Amino acid sequence: MSKLEEQVEDYLRFVQLERGLSNNTVTAYRQDLTEFINFLKQEGFSSWPTEATDIDAFLARQRDMNKATSSISRIISSLRKFYQWLARQNIQKLNPMIEIDPPKKEYKLPVALTEKEVSVLLDQPDTSKKLGLRDRALLETLYATGIRVSELINLKLENIHEDLQLIKVLGKGSKERLIPISDMALSWIKKYEEEVRDPLLLKKGSNSEFLFLNNRGTPLTRQAVWQIIKRYCKMAGIDKDVTPHTLRHTFATHLLENGADLRVVQEILGHSDISTTQIYTNLTQTHILQVYQKAHPRA
C-alpha cells in the first residue's frame, strides 16, 4: 500500500469512527479518493497535488468519462473535506481546493409515475405466491410512505405501529422520524407477516428483527429491491426509468397534487431543507394547468 493510500485509509477511519458518518457516505468517499489516487499514479504524482490546475485536470478526466454534474459536485466535496483533514494533520498545508468552484447545479425534474401507473404496478405481484405477497407489501409500503430504499431494508418489526398508523424510520444522519402509513399498506404488511415471513423463519429455525426478508430469511439488499421494482415495471409495461427513488418522488408528487402542505411533505420525507422538497412543486405545475384548463369556462 502506497503512502497516499495509507493516508486515505487513515482519513476514512477518522470520518467513520470519530465523525460517525454512515457506511454509504464512507463508501462514496472511498470511491472518490481511490479514483483520485489512480489519476495521480497515472500522472506520476508521489504526493498530494498543491496546484488547482492539477485538480482541474483530474475533474476534466471525470467529465470526459461522462460523469453527471451531481457526481462531479460530490467528488469536489470529498476532495475539499480530505484536504482540510490533511491540513489539520499537518500532512500538507497547501490546499488547492480553495480555488475550485463546484459546477452549477443541473435542475432535472425527477421521474414520477401517474396514479394509473402506480395502480397497475401495485397489481403486478402474484399474491397467491409467497414472494409475490412480500413484493406487494413492499411496493405498497414504498408508495404509502415515500421512504428511501435504505430506510425500507432497515425497517424492523418494532418500527411498525399499526395502532397509531405510523412507522418509525432511521434516516440520513441517524435521525429518527415517524411517518403515517395507509390502512392498505398495513393490511398487506400484516398479510405478508402472517402468511410468509413468520412461517419462513419458523421453518428455517431462525430469527430476524427486520421486516422484509428474502427466501433465505435474511434482510433484502438495496439491489434486490431495485430488481423487484424493475421486474414489475416491465410486467406492467411502464417504460419510464423507475427506481426505488422514483416511488419516493411519486409519493411526494401525488401528495402535493392532492393538496398536501409543502412543509408536511418535507417532514415526511425527512428533508432538512425545504428547498430540497420544492423541486416537487415543479412537477405539479402541469397538473395545475390541466385542472385550470378543465375547470375554467374560458380556458
Catalytic annotation, residues: 148, 172, 245, 248, 271, 280
- Alpha helix segments (H runs only) across 44-114: 52-64, 69-88
Answer yes or no: are the C-beta atoms of 240 and 247 closer than 8 Å: no
Answer yes or no: are the C-beta atoms of 136 and 125 closer than 8 Å: yes
In the β-sheet with 160-161, what is the strand arrangement from edge to edge?
160-161, 166-170, 176-180
**What are the strands, taking DSSP E only, across 112-159?**
none
Q: Which amino acid is at 147?
A: I
Alpha carbons 293 and 298: distance in angstroms, whole number: 8
Q: 156: which strand partners?
A: 210
> Where does residue 222 rank: exposed (0-12), middle (13-18), buried (19+ CB within 10 A)?
middle
Alpha carbons 166 and 53: distance in angstroms, whole number: 52
Alpha carbons 286 and 284: distance in angstroms, whole number: 6
Give 167's DSSP letter.
E
- The alpha carbon dihedral of 30, 33, 36, 37 has a sign of negative
Answer yes or no: are the C-beta atoms of 224 and 184 closer than 8 Å: no
Alpha carbons 66 and 220: distance in angstroms, whole number: 31
Alpha carbons 30 and 9: distance in angstroms, whole number: 8
Answer yes or no: are the C-beta atoms of 287 and 257 closer than 8 Å: yes
